[in-house]
Amino acid sequence: MSTSHQIVRSPREHIQTLIEWMAKGVYEKEQIVAMGLLCAVAGENIFLLGPPGTAKSMVANRLKWIFKEAKSFDYLMSRFSTPDEIFGPISISRLKNEDKYERLVDGYLPSADVIFLDEIWKAGPSIQNTLLTAINEHIFRNGIQTLKLPMKVLIAASNELPPQGEGLEALWDRFLVRMVSNAIENESTFFKMLKDQDSEIQPPEESLLLTDEICTFWQEESRKIEISPKVYDTIKTLRKMLDDAEKENNHRLRYYISDRRWKKAYRLMQTSAYLNGRAEIDLSDYLLLIHCFWNDVETRPRMLEIIVGGLTDTFYKQLDSITKKIRQDIHSEAREQSLTGSSPQETANYVEYQHFYYKVEKYPKGNCFFYKWDYPLLDTDKAKPGIAYFDSKRKGIVVHLLTNHFSVGPLQNEQPITKVSLQKYPGGIMINAIPYAFCKKKQEVILLSNSRLDKLQKAFSDCVFEWRNKIDSLCSTCDNIFLSSADLLLVREMTKEAETKIEELEIKFKNVSLLQ
């Protein structure tokens, strides 16, 4: 009776097991390992930026072991490096006997599956020019022959980015994934590394090794992956934001993404989706672009903001649209009241405080009083400048319109003064574009119809629900094996502003309800 020891794994299980093996004894580099493996399967290249001694070469070493019968090539570049050292020496016998200029490539870069080039920017122009074709087209011209390279991934490393003005832009553009490899930051992880016995890692079991057949199959299947509508819309937004950033930067190409990079990024997202067991690219695959699209250290933070901003832009536009509709309805009602001469009756319903003020309802900073003689001077269509300051006698915030009869001068000894914008609002006042009601003696006429307000509140609730569900599914329940917790924390931090906008709009709805 024969028994089979073949272990059947899904692509996700296979890759996850390989990542775990590759990450043994490599501390705080799990994502670099995962992205290196993703690049190898997708046929892309990765650049690692970081100081010496941060396990950059180890990633390449371990990648070699996961491919069956793979050959590797690694080299430390210097300004004295020659093409012979990288691509192989010239065959003297063929040159002498057959008059053919060919290199002996066996054991050198053209024969390797996994390649590691350290300090790549120090290579001379002749090496760089040959690398361009090798990296992009996976071919090497050896005399009159054109060799198809077996290269699965090229990992380049340096402690600096390519210097400007030395013609390295084309080579830099060939590296789709760009990651920072720093020294260990977490203290407990650091001491764990110190205590590690540095025992030699055992090769992965035979069933885990990736063959050319497996990689080809995975690549063919990943090309069938579709893009979800959400990601499609997000990428459209991202392209527009990148174009705007490039214009603001006087077209200096610091935010420019070539069509070639977009194509490669799309293939990387397809591969990520397939290896994660999905039939379409989702937003977690989109987030991998934060490791693909930055061009230099100075603009990297802004680029990350733009990429994450692709997630928030549509949501912000929805909130702005709801805010605009509220404002339009309120202004329409205010103009109608103005035409019917209802304003005197309206102010007669406000409760006066110390004969000079109207009290503002539900002000977030506590008691708030508005100088009543300023109210007739406000407009319903546009805001006017005003000030707000804490008055210890009234134990609350006092708000004034800046007019000829009132200036900042007499208040120099008071608490700090804040500038605000003021606008007339049916049943109250708008302070910094947020509506607030005045305390009233009796119920007033409804200014904004219940049905209209209900529809806006429903649209707002649906919008917020969809947004929070999207962010929670990304940051809390995301299971993309190529994203790190640091990536998701970055998204969470960069989307905090959305909660502030939600809170502001909630206040507006609450205050509009009070004005009815």
Q: Convert the pLDDT of each residue in 327-347 to its tens digit.
A: 776 656 555 555 444 455 567
Cα dihedral 260, 150, 112, 12 sign: positive
Which residue, chain included where needed, has tokens 């969809």? 466
Cα dihedral 29, 34, 40, 44 sign: negative
- At 464-493, the pLDDT tens digits run 999 988 888 888 888 899 999 889 989 988
Q: What is the 3-state secondary structure (H, E, C) of 374-395?
A: HHHHCCCCCCEEEEEEEECCCC
Which residue, chain included where needed, has tokens 């006087």? 250
Better-predicted residue by pLDDT, 236 or 434: 236
Buried b (16+ CB within 10 A) or exposed e, 342-357: ebeebeeebeebeeeb
What are φ and ψ of residue 368, in 5° steps?
Answer: -140, 135
Nearest Cα neighbor of 486 from 11, 5, 32, 1 is: 32
What is the percent of the chain where pLDDT is above 70?
89
Distance CA 33, CA 360 (A): 58
Give the chain's mean pLDDT. Answer: 85
CB 513 within 8 A of CB 436: no
- At 178-197, the pLDDT tens digits run 999 888 888 888 888 888 87
Report pLDDT for 199: 62
CB 110 within 8 A of CB 147: yes
Residue 413 pLDDT greater than 60, yes or no: no
Our CA angle for 289, 291, 295, nearest 5°, is: 100
Residue 516 pLDDT greater than 60, yes or no: no
Report pLDDT for 504: 83
What is the percent of the chain where pLDDT is above 90?
43
Report pLDDT for 35: 95
Report pLDDT for 257: 92
The angle that helices 212-222 and 30-42 make with each other, rounded to 10 degrees, is: 90
Cα torsion for 104, 108, 110, 111, to the nearest 10°? 90
CB 328 within 8 A of CB 310: no
Residue 307, SS3 per DSSP: helix
Nearest Cα neighbor of 363 from 428, 270, 448, 291 is: 428
Distance CA 371, CA 352 (A): 10
Per DSSP bridges, beta strands 139-142 and 114-118 are unpaired
Q: Of the segments 19-28, 287-296, 442-451, which one has the largest average pLDDT value? A: 287-296
CB 279 within 8 A of CB 226: yes
The tokens for 231 are 């990601």
CB 228 within 8 A of CB 281: yes
The tokens for 46 are 């990765």
Lowest mean pLDDT among 164-168, 290-294, 338-342, 493-497: 338-342
Lowest mean pLDDT among 125-134, 267-276, 421-430, 445-454: 445-454
Nearest Cα neighbor of 177 from 251, 82, 70, 288 is: 288
Nearest Cα neighbor of 238 from 173, 190, 283 is: 283
Chain CA centroid to CA 301, Å? 9
The tokens for 180 are 């920072």
Q: What is the pTM (predicted TM-score) of this model?
A: 0.76
Report pLDDT for 183: 85
CB 311 within 8 A of CB 360: no
Distance CA 463, CA 316 (A): 10
CB 347 within 8 A of CB 271: no
Which residue, chain included where needed, has tokens 């005197």? 344
Residue 57 pLDDT greater than 80, yes or no: yes
Which residue, chain included where needed, has tokens 């350290």? 118
The sheet carrying 177-180 orders its strands as 72-76, 114-118, 153-158, 46-49, 177-180
Distance CA 66, CA 212 (A): 11
Report pLDDT for 131: 92
Distance CA 56, CA 156 (A): 9
Average pLDDT over residues 430-443: 82
- At 222-231, the pLDDT tens digits run 999 999 999 9
CB atoms within 10 A of CB 451: 8
Distance CA 288, CA 285 (A): 6
Report pLDDT for 340: 46
The tokens for 84 are 């012979």
